[in-house]
Amino acid sequence: MTSVSQKMIDASQRAQKRLAGRDTPFVTNCWYVAGFSWEFSRALRARTILGRPLVLYRTAADRPVALSDRCVHRSYPLSASTLDGDTIVCGYHGLRYDADGQCVEAPALQTCPRGVGVRSYPVREQGPLVWIWMGEAPADEALPIGDWVSDPAWPASQQSYHLPASYIALHENLLDLTHLSFLHANSFGTPDFASAPYEVDLESTPGRFVLTRSVMPTRLPPVWAEPTGLTGRDAARITTSEFLAPSAHVVSARFYGLDVPEQERADTRIMTAHLVTPETAASTHYFIHHARNFAQADPGVTQFMNDQLAVAFTEDVVGLTKVEQMIAATPDGDFYEISLNSDRAGLAMRRWLFQAAHGAAD
């Protein structure tokens, strides 16, 4: 006998059909982070993005390149082949491809067959990030994240994780700040976070979902209390969590001491770009760029915050991995989820993602 009524289960399973899930196609017409700029090097690197195997490298003239990894002759991986100048020589029968993916030499033939090559994908470099456009539509002019990621006024550190879980679950996690009090109880969560007042903006811009949570008075966790000098003092922590695109989510937080008069409060902020690139339906490349606008000249602060945040982001990776394993172990017909009012930003995002994937979003 289930403890959830059959009526609720039926309603959940009906709603589920219009939410993006593990069988929803990827939104391909979008810039995704393919890797950090230093991952595009003079060594060939294999990476699967949106279910497609790619080979990544950088030309001698410093241009990042992303090509289909599958040799069109007999499917040998180009990433397991040889980079010769700016060309790749396939490790099986030696077809040579240039940086645009064109086959320029076939050793077994006098002349290279015309019109043969592997697909090359548009890439754009932005500070430490290299973006890729995998869709059929012309690439958008604008990238999903502003140029603050390369602004020296915002010193930053980067991390990346291979997450064996759905990118949709990661996006939902990022729009859900209630989990900070529990999953992150030992890192950057505080007990007052889950029940603090919040506001959502789910409609003013199509495809953009914003949640703002104000926690005050609170005590900041060490990751921000130490560098801001707010250890042991009553503080305000105002966090805005913003889904910008299927590939990008930005969290910004402002902190100040409540003992400081309003007109004297510094604009002390951190900005974290969570860059979410599906590998497959159930695995994700999770790139993070974490920046701040205080203690800019102190690399020790960069290192301290990076180390502390690595603990918290690892908690998300471990938690979402457990969720994915549980879903995989649940028989199809038995699966349902009971959503709470506090989940409405995540639900709005999943409804939009479902429509975007099926070509019906605004």
User: Residue numbers of the site for ligand FES (CB under 6 A)?
Assistant: 71, 73-74, 76, 90, 92-95
**Which does residue 73 touch among Fe ion, ligand FES, none (CB within 5 to 8 A, set by kind)?**
ligand FES
Nearer to ligand FES, 73 or 351 (CB): 73
Among the listed residues 242, 279, 316, 324, the single contact to Fe ion using CB under 5 A: 316
Cβ of residue 163: shortest distance to Fe ion, in angstroms? 12
Q: Name which of Fe ion, ligand FES, none residue 71 binds, using a CB cut-off of 5 to 8 Å depending on partner kind.
A: ligand FES
The entry of ligand FES, Fe ion, none near residue 316 (CB within 5 to 8 angstroms by kind) is Fe ion
Stretch in the footprint of Fe ion (CB under 5 A) among 25-33, 73-81, 244-252, 313-321: 313-321
What span, in angstroms and rounded, lies between the C-alpha atoms of 191 and 13? 32
Which of these ranges, 13-21, 244-252, 277-285, 309-317, lies near Fe ion under the rule CB under 5 A?
Answer: 309-317
**Residue 319 binding: pick among Fe ion, ligand FES, none (C-beta 5-8 Å cut-off by kind):** none
Residue closer to Fe ion (CB basis): 179 or 285: 179
Q: Which residues contact 248 (CB under 8 A, 6 or more apart)?
A: 33, 144, 145, 273, 274, 275, 276
- Nearer to ligand FES among residue 69 and residue 324 (C-beta): 69
Contact at 8 Å (CB) between 325 and 283?
A: no
Closer Cβ to ligand FES, 108 or 142, answer by number = 108
Distance CA 200, CA 348 (A): 11
- Residue number with CB closer to Fe ion (134 or 163): 163
| Residue found by looking up tokens 């950057």 in the block | 188
Alpha-carbon distances, residue 34 vs 48, 52, 59 (angstroms): 9, 12, 16
User: Is the Cβ of residue 92 or residue 304 nearer to ligand FES in the bound state?
Assistant: 92
Q: List the beta strands (DSSP E) in 50-116.
A: 52-58, 64-68, 82-84, 87-89, 96-97, 103-105
**Residue 152, C-beta contacts closer than 8 angstroms, at least 6 positions apart:** 296
> Least CB distance from residue 56 to ligand FES, whole Å?
18
* Helix, strand, coil percentages for the chain (3-state, nearest 5): 25, 30, 40
Nearer to ligand FES, 105 or 176 (CB): 105
Query: What distances in angstroms separate CA 274 from CA 145, 158, 212, one per listed residue?
Result: 10, 10, 16
Q: Which of 292, 314, 311, 313 is nearest to 301 (CA)?
A: 292
CB 221 within 8 A of CB 190: yes
Rg (CA), the chain: 23
* Partner whose footprint covers residue 162, from Fe ion, ligand FES, none (CB < 5 to 8 Å by kind): none
Quick one: what does residue 95 bind among Fe ion, ligand FES, none, with the CB cut-off 5 to 8 Å set by partner type? ligand FES
Positions that interact with Fe ion (CB under 5 A): 316
